[in-house]
Amino acid sequence: MVYGLSKGVNVLKEIVVIGGGLAGLVSAILLNRNGLEVTLIEKKTYPFHRVCGEYISNEVRPFLESHQLLPDHIETSKITQFEFTSIKGKSLSLPLDLGGFGISRYVLDEHLASIAKQEGVDVREKTTVSDAVFHEDSFTLKLNNGEEIEAKIVIGAYGKNANLDKSLKRSFTSKRAPFIGVKRHIKTDFPIDKIALHNFENGYCGISAIESDKYNLCYLGSRADLRQYGNLEAMEAATVKRNPHLKDIFENSEMIFEKPEVINEFTFAPKTAVENHILMAGDSAGLITPLCGNGMALAIHAAKIVSECILDHYKKGSLDRDTLEKKYSNQWQQLFAKRLWVGRQTQKLFGSKITSELTVSLMQNSKFIAKAIMKQTHGQPFD
C-alpha cells in the first residue's frame, strides 16, 4: 500500500508517537523538523521524575550537541572513572573509554518536551494510549479519555509499559517480570567524575553526579525480596546496605526526595522492533540491562534511525510500509541486538555472592575483561 504526504490536511494523523521519554521526544522533534505532522501522546505531565540512573554515555553527545538538544543553561557532570564493587565490597576501578555525563531526566525530558512544543509538535500530556489497532492500512489509537485517533504511522516509544504491551499481546508479557527499580536524588560526598556500581544480593546500585551538586542513587532489585521483607526500608537494610559502600552512602547522604521513585513489572527479555506494524523505539523495542549504563543512548539512537527510515520513505514521495518495517527492523537488529544480549549475560554474573566475588576478582586480575564487556555493550559516537 502506498501513501502520499499530506501535512496537516486531513483528520488522519500523519505520525503519532506513543510516549514522551527520550525515544519519543527525539523522534518527534526530528520528524517535525523535517516537515512531517507529529502528535506525541504522553501519559504524565512534564516535568516529572522517572526511575533511571541518569548517566548518559558519550556515544550520543555529538548527536545531542549537533541537533541542539542539550540544555545550555545546565552544567552537566563529566564522568570519566568507573568503580565496581562486589556484594562484600571488594572494589575494582578503571577509566571509562568513552565516558559520559550526568543530567536528571526531570531536566532533560522537560527541555526536550519544550523544544518539541515550541517547534510545533502536538504534545498531548496527561493522556494514555490504552490500545492501538491496525486495520487495512492505518491505526486507531484508543485513549484513556475516550477519544480515538487515526494515524498512518505509529512509533511505540512507551518504554517499559506493561499495560500497552499486554493490550498488544506481545509475546514477552507472558514471561516473569521479577525486577524493581528505585531512584533517589541525594547530596553526598562523592567524586564528581566517577560512576560507581555496587552489587548487593539480587541487585546492584549505581551512583553518579547529575546537575546542581546532586547525585543520582538508583538500584535494580528483586520484587521477590520486596515481597519477602515487606517494604523498601526493610529490604534495603537486609540486602542493599550489606554492601559496605552502599551502607556508607545510605547512612551519610541527604535524601532529597521525600519518597523514592519506584517502578516494577519490567523485563529484559528480547522484544521486537516492529510489532503489529508499530515501529518500536527505546525500551519498547528492548531494554538493555542498566549496568551497561546506556539505555538512554540506545533510546536516542533508535529515535534517530526510526526517524531516518520514515523520512527516507517519504522522500521517495510515497510510503511502502513493508519496506519501511523491514528496513527499520534490520537496522535495529544490527545496531542493538548484540549489545542487549551481552548486557543480559553480564547481568547474570552479579547478584549472587559467589559469582559477584568471583567476577570482581577476575576483573581485578584482568581489566581486559571489564573493558571488553564495556566495548561490547557500547556503540560508537554518532551525530
- Is residue 214 within 8 Å of residue 187, measured between CB atoms? yes
Q: How far is CA 247 from CA 2, 21, 61, 199, 221, in A?
A: 60, 32, 33, 12, 16
Measured from the CB atom, the residue of 280 and 319 that comes closer to ligand FAD is 280
- DSSP labels for 284-324? GT-PPPGGGS-HHHHHHHHHHHHHHHHHHHHHTTSEEHHHH
Measured from the CB atom, the residue of 62 and 317 that comes closer to ligand FAD is 62
What is the SS3 assignment for 177?
A: coil
**In sequence order, what are the beta bridge partners of 205?**
198, 219
Give one word for 367, left, alpha or beta, with left for phi > 0 and alpha for psi -120 to 50.
Answer: alpha
Supply the DSSP symbol for 248.
Answer: H
In whole angstroms, give the CA distance from residue 330 to residue 319. 18
Residue 15 corresponds to which amino acid?
A: I
Measured from the CB atom, the residue of 110 and 248 that comes closer to ligand FAD is 110
Minimum CB separation of residue 285 from ligand FAD in Å reads 8
Minimum CB separation of residue 316 from ligand FAD in Å reads 28
In whole angstroms, give the CA distance from residue 77 to residue 6. 43
Minimum CB separation of residue 218 from ligand FAD in Å reads 5
Measured from the CB atom, the residue of 157 and 370 that comes closer to ligand FAD is 157
Minimum CB separation of residue 195 from ligand FAD in Å reads 8
Minimum CB separation of residue 232 from ligand FAD in Å reads 14
Minimum CB separation of residue 340 from ligand FAD in Å reads 11
Measured from the CB atom, the residue of 14 and 59 that comes closer to ligand FAD is 59
In whole angstroms, give the CA distance from residue 53 to residue 195. 10
Antiparallel, parallel or unpaired: β 148-156 and 278-280? parallel
- Is residue 131 within 8 Å of residue 142, measured between CB atoms? yes
Measured from the CB atom, the residue of 216 and 319 that comes closer to ligand FAD is 216
Minimum CB separation of residue 33 from ligand FAD in Å reads 18
Cell triple for residue 239? Answer: 540486602
Cell triple for residue 379? Answer: 556503540
Measured from the CB atom, the residue of 164 and 324 that comes closer to ligand FAD is 164
Minimum CB separation of residue 130 from ligand FAD in Å reads 7
Residues of the shown chain interacting with ligand FAD in the complex, contacts defined by CB under 6 A: 18-24, 41-44, 51-56, 128-129, 157-161, 164, 181, 206, 218, 220, 282-283, 287, 290, 293-297, 299
Measured from the CB atom, the residue of 55 and 215 that comes closer to ligand FAD is 55
Angle at 248 between CA 364 and CA 359, to 5 degrees: 20
With 0-12 / 13-18 / 19 or more C-beta atoms within 10 angstroms meaning exposed / middle / buried, residue 322 is exposed
